[in-house]
Amino acid sequence: MIAFDTNLLVRAVVADDQAQVIVVKQLIMQDSIFISRTVLMETEWVLRSVYKKSRDEIHGFFRVLLEVGNTEIENSVEVGYALDWYELGADFADALHLAVCGSAVMHSFDKGFCKTA
């Protein structure tokens, strides 16, 4: 199993460096892939903030990652819940924080988070 960092996922979406895209594709073909939830959070931020990708584009990419057979996503069930909330307008990081809390009650001073939670 190979663990992917944010920059590999970003290259897969943005495809702005063809040599790196080839390496990412080779790694995917070579072995199973592990993606941590923190890498997903960082990837969402980079795609949204740096590359100006839309919520729909990011949501679609993450859904594909959840469905790919050789990809293991940390807390995949919770990531799925977070993506459902993200699709409805929640901030992805906030949604993921809430999803992994389980039965614990989340408290925050972030008014936007409290509205969407």
Spell 72-101 as b/e; 16+ CB within 10 A means b.
ebeeeebbeebbebbbeebbbbbbbbbbbe
pTM (two decimals): 0.88
Q: What is the pLDDT of residue 91?
A: 92
Asked if the structure places residue 33 within a domain, the reply is yes
Sign of CA dihedral 61, 63, 69, 75: positive
Q: What is the pLDDT of residues 29-56, one digit of tens each?
A: 999 999 999 999 999 999 999 999 999 9
Asked if the structure places residue 41 within a domain, the reply is yes
Q: What is the pLDDT of residues 54-113, one digit of tens each?
A: 999 999 999 999 999 899 999 999 999 999 999 999 999 999 988 888 777 776 676 665
Task: Give the residue numbers spanning the domain of 33.
Answer: 2-74
Whether the pLDDT of residue 8 is over 60: the answer is yes
Q: What is the pLDDT of residue 112?
A: 67
How many domains is the chain partitioned into structurally?
Answer: 1
Asked if the structure places residue 25 within a domain, the reply is yes
Asked if the structure places residue 87 within a domain, the reply is no
